[in-house]
Each structure stands twice: as C-alpha cells, then as structure tokens.
C-alpha cells in the first residue's frame, strides 16, 4: 500500500525494478511453500494481478499479507532461508527504521523515496509484508483499538522524520507541518525511539489474537477496521498469474478489493495514480 505521491519512471528503470521484485516475490513464496506459510498478494499488488496479470504498470512495490502467526514463523526462518540475498527490516531489527510495515529488501540495492528520505537506516529495493491480526467483535472495542494503533503508528513515523508527506496546501499545511516538527523533536528529546513505539504498536495490534475473532485486518493504516475481512474468507487461497510466476490472492479477492478501493478494475487517470516517487534507485553493485 503506497503513500499518495506519483512520479513517472524511465521505462527501462521500472522494468529492471520489476524484475528484481518478481525474483524477490518468487524467493519469498518458495520459502513460504516449503514451510506451509500462507502468503497472499494484497492491496495494489492484488489489483495488478487480476487487472494486468502482474504489476500495475506504474507501481513500484509488492504488497503481501500473512496472518500474524504465519508472519512470526516467517521471521523465524528468514535467517536460515533468505538472509544471503535479502534483509528483513522492522524497528526491532533496526531502530532507525520508523515504519510499521515490515520490509524484505534486496541486499546491495538502494531505494529512497520522498516519503522515506529522512530515515537514517539503509533502504533497498523492497516488498512490504502486512501481518493480519484479530478484530474484536464489539464496535466500541474496534474504534478504541483503531485509535490506539493509529496513534502509535503515527508517532512511530514521526519519531523518524518531522517532514512527512502532508496532502494539503496553504495555512493548513503549515500548521500540520509545524505540529509534526514539534512532535518529532519532543520524541527525540525524551528518547522515545522507533523500537519502543513499535512494541506498543504491536501490543495493540495483537491484543485480540488469543480470541476467536471472526475478522482480521492489517492495522498499518487508518482504514484497517473498514477493510477488515473474515478469516474464513481469506482461505483457501487462489493461485493466479503474476508476471512470469504464479502467486496467491485471497479467496474473496474481489469483495475485499471492492471494500478497500471501490470499483478497481478501471485504470485510473494519471492524476489519481500512486507510487513511491523514488529519489534514488541503485541496483546491485551500486550500478544506476
């Protein structure tokens, strides 16, 4: 799931980026199949799979989902199976990484976007992994949990940068920008680091995982409760073509994507397209 910025790529660069990411997805799915870890395309990547048979033509990342218990298992086996070529990135692994979403990134590469330019950790060509956690049954509990996860998620990002993307102009932009800067420096002054905030975020996300929840969601964004999905509707996963390989999507993929995006099969105009607006891309061996 991308942030609301769009920059057109040079076609050769985008194709090269896609080639690296397809291989990354292939390697991750190989390991998941080996250890019986269900892993499914989600969000824009799932749209690309059903609408284009691969990437959305201007997209520049891969989004996959896993249930939390499967994600924890994946993190355990990662050092044995994938560490030679890839890095796993969370605030618990590198506390300079101030984002809620887990990255798998290609070693020897660099990918710096407008949104991530202030982060001090190394950022490479990546794919995002969204763990799915339990949603409480009561609406009041859902709202409370959403407030908590959103609060810690936003604080986490502001602990890494005081200059987030603000989709407004004029006086409102300046007010929000000043507020973000103040919060950022207060977090620095009081030594509130990304790993500390991420632990609080995880505690909130996983609060109901020991319950028999009908629904699950990824709490990494503010629409998480609206976009909740029945756990039984995720499975069995369906296999679909994605570029030169095959991958999996949720069993009720159409219903889920419609809930998140509305009518998603029509190609949007350029003014409504989204990617990660790269500032720096370097492939292996520091070759541009």
Read off the pLDDT of residues 2-31 as tens digits, 9 standing for 90 and up: 555 778 889 999 999 999 999 999 999 999
Contact 135, 169 (CB under 8 A): no
Q: Which residue has the tokens 């932009």?
A: 173
pLDDT of residue 285: 61
Q: Tens digits of per-residue pLDDT, 201-247? A: 999 999 999 999 999 999 999 999 999 999 999 999 999 999 999 99
Which position has the token pair 């300046």? 174
The residues near 224 (Cβ < 8 Å, ≥ 6 apart) are 146, 149, 217, 218
Q: How far apart are CA 262 and CA 58, in angstroms?
A: 20
pTM of the full predicted structure? 0.92
pLDDT band at 288 (very low <50, low <70, confident <90, very high): very low
With a CB cutoff of 8 Å and minimum separation 6, the contacts of 222 are 146, 150
Residue 251 pLDDT level (bands cut at 50, 70, 90): very high
What is the domain partition of the chain in residue ranges? 11-286
pLDDT digits (tens, 9 = 90+) for 41-74: 999 999 999 999 999 999 999 999 999 999 999 9
pLDDT value of residue 177: 81
> What letter does residue 5 receive in the DSSP assignment?
B
pLDDT (0 to 100) of residue 4: 55
Asked if residue 154 has pLDDT above 90, the reply is yes
Q: What pLDDT is stored for residue 286 in this prediction?
A: 52
Cα dihedral 225, 230, 236, 240 in deg (nearest 10): -40
Spatial separation of the C-alpha atoms in residues 120 and 111, rounded to whole Å: 13
Helix (H, G, I), strand (E, B) or coil at 195: helix
Q: Where on the phi/psi map is residue 80: left (φ > 0), alpha (ψ -120 to 50), or beta?
A: alpha
Q: Do 262 and 184 meet the contact criterion of CB atoms below 8 Å apart?
A: no
Query: What mean pLDDT is predicted for residues 92-110?
Result: 96
Q: Which pLDDT score, from 0 to 100, does residue 219 have?
A: 97
Torsion of CA 276, 5, 221, 105, to 10 degrees: 10
Tokens of 83: 């560490």
- Residue 21's pLDDT is what? 97
Average pLDDT over all residues of the chain: 92
Confidence band (pLDDT; 50, 70, 90) for 287? very low
The beta-strand segments (E) located in 116-242 are 126-135, 215-217, 229-230, 238-242
């Amino acid at each position: 799931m991308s942030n609301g910025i769009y920059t057109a790529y040079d076609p050769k660069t985008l194709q090269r980026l896609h080639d690296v990411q397809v291989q990354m997805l292939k390697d991750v799915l190989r390991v998941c199949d080996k250890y019986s870890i269900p892993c499914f395309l989600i969000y824009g990547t799932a749209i690309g799979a059903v609408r284009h048979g691969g990437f959305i033509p201007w997209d520049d990342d891969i989004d996959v989902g896993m249930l939390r218990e499967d994600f924890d298992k994946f993190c355990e086996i990662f050092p044995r199976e994938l560490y030679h070529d890839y890095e796993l990135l969370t605030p618990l692994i590198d506390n300079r990484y101030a984002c809620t979403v887990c990255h798998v990134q290609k070693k020897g590469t660099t990918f710096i976007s407008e949104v991530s330019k202030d982060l001090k950790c190394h950022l490479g060509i990546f794919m995002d992994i969204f763990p799915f956690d339990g949603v409480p049954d009561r609406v009041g509990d859902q709202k409370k949990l959403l407030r908590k996860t959103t609060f810690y998620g936003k604080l986490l990002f502001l602990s890494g940068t005081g200059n987030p993307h603000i989709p407004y102009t004029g006086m409102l932009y300046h007010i929000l920008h000043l507020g973000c800067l103040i919060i950022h420096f207060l977090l620095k002054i009081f030594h509130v680091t990304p790993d500390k905030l991420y632990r609080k975020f995880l505690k909130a996300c996983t609060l109901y995982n020991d319950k028999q929840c009908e629904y699950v969601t990824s709490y990494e964004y503010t629409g998480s409760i609206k976009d909740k999905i029945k756990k039984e509707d995720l499975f069995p996963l369906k296999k679909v073509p994605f570029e030169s390989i095959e991958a999996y999507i949720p069993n009720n993929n159409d219903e889920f994507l419609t809930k998140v995006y509305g009518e998603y099969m029509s190609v949007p105009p350029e003014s409504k397209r989204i990617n990660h607006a790269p500032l720096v891309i370097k492939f292996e061996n520091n070759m541009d």
